[in-house]
Every structure is written in structure tokens, then in C-alpha cells.
Chain A
């Protein structure tokens, strides 16, 4: 018996937890899964903009002051502001209409941040080889088998059952993809208020999924030049697919391509 695998429906999506460590070496496995699942539901209850009485919805409506909420809400909003400055506003938690009717929506950073924390919880329980995949954003640790990297597929933007490519990833790394595959789902450019149009999908690989996720959103908004912007974060590499099926990547992304 090796590791365990679990799919948790939370935050309106499926979170796949794939632990490959030998179970015999991890007697705490039941506890580690329980802790991660509990954490994910806590994040959902706190930050969901689909839940009308979540702290973030109440804050967005002005029903509660920031000081009255848990520190983690302040931490997330400070992180959002840091990212807004860093991305010249391409990432902005205060600019895009949220499902709860407010324009306060830190969801773009909450997902990556919460999955990165989920990975830390698993590590604290002694796991070293696993992935946590939340709606396509993945915290990667270690390897699936000795001497083998994780094979991470990047979804084809138009064919949902096909891959645009497969990359080799050895943790610790985060892999995040931003895309709008279907009509109706949009990523809004905070500057114009309009859906962004140039890219079909953007994948970012880097040390912290929190930032990989946010940068994927930001580069998606910026378009291809966003990959130039990404150069200011040398640890993060990007791969974008246009609507014309042209792929554009940063030079450093090549190290994730499987050997020919």
C-alpha cells in the first residue's frame, strides 16, 4: 500500500490530494488528511464570495470592520495589495465584481495561498512526496517515485480532454494555470473592466503556489508581454497559449520540458 488519494469538494471545486509516501512510514496519514480537509473548509467559510455571511462578504459590504476579523483576512488583503503594486494593477482584489455583489474579491490569491498552506500541513505530518491539485492549481512536493519527476499535464485550452503539453516537475514547486475555456467565464482586466482577450491560457511554475497562482492571473491580464514582466521574478517561469494556438514561454521554462 503506498500513499493515499482523496478528492475533496470544497471552495466550489474539487481538490485532489495525492500522497505517494509509503503509508507504513506515515502512521499519521489519517490525521494529515483530516487536518488538510478541515483547513480547506475553514478557508472556504472565511473567504468565499459565494457565501453571503462569510467574513469577506461582510467586509465587502461594509457590515464589519477589518479590525474585527481574524488576522488572516488582513494578511490576505495585504498580500493582494502587494500583488497589485507588483503587477501595476493587473491583479486587483478591489476592482472586479464578485458573486456577492461587492467589488472586494481576493479569490485570485486565496486559492493558491490556501493550497500552499495545505501542502505545509501535509509536510508537518511528515509527507514529502505528494501533489495537492485545486482546480488545476497544484502544489507539488517531491516525486511520485524515486528518481522520477511528476508528469504534470497542461490542459489544452480548447480541448478539455487533451493536453497542450506535459512538463516534468520535481517539488517543491507550484504550478498554476489561468484560463477562460468556456464562454461565460471571464478574467477581467481591472484597468478596463473588460474581459481579457489575448491569451487562451497561462501556466506559471515557481517555488510558491501563492505567487504562481497570482502571477498566472496577472500575466493572463497583461497578455504576452506579461511574460516579460515575469522576468522580475527570476524563480518563476511562464508558458502561455494564444487563441491561435501559438505557445510562448520564458526561456527558463525549458527546464521543465521533458528531454526530447
Chain B
């Protein structure tokens, strides 16, 4: 191996490291709090903590803000200190883009229409997807944290599904560019008379991370009842970070869960007052009376 080869290999390694997103952080092995080493300030973590406490002291002497504040107020100095940090919304928007790619691609390539009650294919139901969609309703009204505008070149070219829908009811492709999703809610029309409920499977569609397929259920009035994801671009535990990992579902489960038997309730009850009014309180009362699960 001569010097040129060495340089080439170095260059290759450099490119690889630039191209890759870098290794994901290793999952934590030890789940316990780190052991204290009070006599060893050399530990970088200890040093960092000491620096944070020092910052806290500086903020204290630099501003009196925060005194008595208990909720939404924040001191200017706190905001300033944080401003250097990358705002999570930046990463958030990128990831949300993935989410909307997933659903846009899925909705734009709907083709197989079946009635779950009969299992028969319904010919003639037309499903029109106007415009790109972020996850329906996720974007709505959430101006502070919008789900990203959709449609990248991948989504603009949906897999043209050999279709079970009639020729008269073509599936509209997603436009190449995306207006604000909040102003462009997904518009899905199912012509009357509609079946009580219609389940539609999207074509398998590929984005750069893998296959995506969604299944959408519509109510009799054409309203969207449920979206479930049959396939996600989820190849292995190591690649999911760049994928869209979240699966959108509508609130159909909230309709059915209420009559379930439960042993305990997870929910944020911050105060004893919250607790007294909570379902957990009712469960505890029933438990005290010997009931093991509460409806």
C-alpha cells in the first residue's frame, strides 16, 4: 500500500463519516443513578454539574427574575442562556416531515376498497385526496408546532396503483409542492349512498426509508374514522431514528376503552386535589372495599 492508497482510504473514511448520521447513542445499560464520587471533581460529569450550579448562582445574582414564579413565567436570563441551544422544533419539523410523507403517500395512493362487513370489494367508491395532508387534525390549530408541510419529490410521485377503483374515480396524485397543511385539510369524499363503514388500503409505497402502507376507515358520512399503518419504514432498531417512527391513529380507541376493567390509571395528577377527583381515587376506594378491578 503506497501513500496514495492511504490518502484514498482516509478520504473514504472521511466521506463515510460525513454521509452517515453517525452512530446512535448506545442505549443506557445502567438504569440506576450514577454512583456519587464526591471526592473526584475530575469526573467530567461532576465538573459539568458544578458548572451548571455556578451558572445558577450567576443567574441568581444577575437577575431577580423567577422569584415566586410558579408557572409559565420565565426569566429573561433563562431564555438567553438557552438561546444557543438548538431548538427541538427544528429537528421536530424534519421528523414531522417524515410523518406527513408517510400519510400523504398513503392517502395519495389509495386504491383497494373493501367493505369490512362483507369482505367484498366495493367498486365505484371514489376516494379523492385533494392536496397533501399532514396527519389529519394533527396540524389543525397547532400553530405553535405545525406538522411540517408535506410533499417531497418522493411523495409527489406516488406508486401508481393498478387500481380496483373505477376509472371514473381516479385517485388524485399528491401535488408536488405543499401549501400550509393547516390551510389545506385533507379532503376525502365518499359519494352517497355510502356503506356504513369503508376500509381502504393504500398501495404499498416506498420512500427512501422503506415501505409504507396505510389503511383508512371512513364513516358513512365520509368522515375519517381511523388510520392505521400496515407497513412502516421500520427496518431495524438502529435505523428508526431517521425514520418516521410514530404511527398515526385516530381516537377510535377512546370510544371503546371506557367500559374496560382497570386495575390502576396512568395520568398526570399533580396534586392531592387532582387525585380526589380522579378515577384512580375511585379505584383505590373500591380496592379498599375489596374490589380488585374497577369498571
Contacts and interface: CB of A to CB of B under 8 A. Distances in A.
Contact of B56 (A90, A101, A103, A164): A103
A195 interface: yes
A151 B71 contact: no
Contact of A95 (B78, B91, B287): B78
B265 interface: yes
Contact of B279 (A12, A61, A103, A155): A155
21 contacts: A16-B264, A74-B38, A78-B36, A79-B33, A82-B45, A97-B78, A150-B263, A151-B293, A153-B262, A155-B279, A166-B260, A176-B266, A179-B268, A188-B71, A195-B72, A210-B31, A225-B99, A233-B27, A246-B250, A248-B249, A249-B247
B60 A81 contact: no
A242 B265 contact: no
Interface in B242-279: 243-251, 253-254, 257-258, 260-272, 274-279
A163 B257 contact: yes
A163 to B, nearest CB: 5
B166 to A, nearest CB: 31
Determine the interface band of chain A, counting residues with CB < 8 A from chain B.
35 or more
A13 B264 contact: no
B262 A177 contact: no
Contacts of A201: 267-268
Determine the interface band of chain B, counting residues with CB < 8 A from chain A.
35 or more
A228 B247 CA distance: 10
A76 B46 CA distance: 12
B109 to A, nearest CB: 21
B265 A221 contact: no
B88 interface: yes
A191 B82 contact: yes
B87 A231 contact: no
B41 to A, nearest CB: 9
Nearest to B99: A224
Contacts of A59: 53
Contacts of A244: 137-138, 140-142
Interface of A: 5, 7, 9, 12-14, 16, 18, 20, 59-62, 66-67, 71-72, 74-79, 81-82, 86, 88-90, 92, 94-99, 101-104, 113, 131, 133, 135-138, 144-145, 150-156, 160-166, 175-182, 184-186, 188-198, 201, 203, 207-208, 210-211, 221-235, 240-251, 258
B265 A197 contact: no
A28 B78 CA distance: 49
Given A88-B86, A136-B280, A186-B71, A180 B268 contact: yes
A131 B283 CA distance: 13
B279 A153 contact: yes
A21 B135 CA distance: 45
Contacts, number: 353
A208 B31 contact: yes
Contact of B268 (A71, A135, A227): A135
Given A103-B78, A138-B264, A94 B52 contact: yes
Contacts of B86: 88
B258 A224 contact: no
Contacts of B274: 13, 135, 181-182
B161 to A, nearest CB: 24
A77 B34 CA distance: 10
B33 A155 contact: no
A258 B257 CA distance: 10
B56 A104 contact: yes
Contact of A137 (B144, B237, B254, B266): B266
Contacts of A94: 52, 55-56
Contacts of B283: 16
